[in-house]
Amino acid sequence: MTDQAQILPGTLDLLILKAVSLGPLHGYGVLLRIAQISGEALLIEQGALYPALFRLVRQGLLTASWGTSENNRRAKFYELTADGRKRLRTEAEGWNRLAVAMATALAAQPEEI
């Protein structure tokens, strides 16, 4: 687990929104999904997930409801709201722009200047 990347501040919310956009998830499911879709590259401290989830609920980007998990346990499931979907789109676009810019910048060669 040593080669996992530290997530950048501010990206956790985006990751959660993305994970939940693929289907309703409970908290632990969000962790697993993020690990899965990032190819096990991004790992989130388990306890740190919840303050972020509550924050997103408070901002009206997620809704939560109790249900039963695949393990047959009671769990709280999170779903994206319309606002959340919109936010995911703009944030993803912003991130992509940044990523492209960063990649371009880092790929720059002396002869290109």
Q: Which helix H or strand E contains 67, and what residues bound it?
A: strand 62-68
Residue 57, class by beta-carbon neighbours within 10 Å (0-12 exposed, 13-18 middle, 19+ buried)? middle
Q: Which of 22, 41, 48, 100 binds other proteins (CB under 8 A)?
A: 48
The sign one gets for the Cα dihedral 84, 32, 52, 77 is: positive
Q: Nearer Cβ to other proteins, position 42 or 55?
A: 55
Asked if 47 is part of the footprint of other proteins (rule: CB under 8 A), the reply reads yes
Q: Which of 11, 22, 41, 83 binds other proteins (CB under 8 A)?
A: 83
Q: Which residues bind other proteins (CB under 8 A)?
A: 26-29, 45-48, 50-52, 54-55, 57-60, 69, 71, 73-76, 83
